[in-house]
Amino acid sequence: MTQVIVMSVLYDVFLVKRQKYCVTKKQKFREDWMKMECFKKWLNPVKNDVMKAYCSFCKVHMISELSTIKKHANTSKHKGNFISMSGSKSITFSFPKIDETAVKKNNAVKVAEIKLCGFLSEHKISFLAVDHLSQLLKECFVDSEIAKNINLKRTKATNIVKHVIGKCHKEELITLFKQQSFQHYY
């Protein structure tokens, strides 16, 4: 009696006792496994091979048989990786969420401080007066959130005039002088 052994990609051939051959069908990866509670955090399909599964915690490929996947889940390596991965937080939790209203309020405060500094420099008011002016605005406009958050002293006012307003006016003067023609009289 002659035995025919079928060798295929879809079948595994196992040698059983007494030289008998047992043919079992290979299991394709099932999407249902990814939905199971015990597998959904780490089990993924292999892109180019439907007969294999991938553990994202251990970074290993395995045959996509349910028994093999369950055995892998019970290994000490996988359990150790599972504990270390579940204890780590996602990077999105590291950064605080940006509050849009707070950003708008801060921008409004910055605009108010720049306008106050422009007023001081335009009317040649001493920067020493800013120390008292910011406190006066807080007392006069109690209901204003912008006035409450203005924190302007002489050092900050000086730096705003030099490095913010000054640079803008310098660029405006440069463009103005480039547009005008000058006549030289000898």
pLDDT digit string (tens) for 22-63? Answer: 666 788 888 888 888 888 888 899 988 888 999 988 889 998
Half-sphere CA count of 64, side-chain side, radius 13 A: 21
How many C-beta neighbours within 10 Å does residue 68 have?
14
Determine the angle formed by the axes of helices 128-140 and 100-122, rounding to 10 degrees.
130
Residue 186 lies in a domain: no
Residue 21 lies in a domain: no
Domain of 141, in residue numbers: 101-178
Residue 158 lies in a domain: yes
Q: What is the CA radius of gyration of the chain?
A: 37
DSSP state of 55: E
Residue 120 lies in a domain: yes
Same domain for 174 and 114, yes or no, is: yes
Total number of domains constituting the chain: 2
Q: Is the pLDDT of residue 179 over 70?
A: yes
Tell me, what's the pLDDT at 64? 86
Same domain for 118 and 53, yes or no, is: no
Residue 14 lies in a domain: no
Residue 109 or 79, more confident: 109
Same domain for 119 and 154, yes or no, is: yes
Residue 95 lies in a domain: no
Same domain for 117 and 170, yes or no, is: yes
pLDDT for 132-146, tens place per residue?
A: 998 999 999 999 999
Same domain for 116 and 167, yes or no, is: yes
Q: Read off the tokens for 88.
A: 């780590």
Whether the model clears a pTM of 0.75, i.e. scores above it, the answer is no
Residue 185 lies in a domain: no
Same domain for 47 and 112, yes or no, is: no
Tell me, what's the pLDDT at 41? 84
Angle at 83 (CA atoms; ends 57, 94), nearest 5 degrees:
85
Query: Mean of the per-residue pLDDT values for the chain?
Result: 83
Match 């399909």 to its residue by tokens: 45
Same domain for 174 and 105, yes or no, is: yes
Same domain for 66 and 106, yes or no, is: no
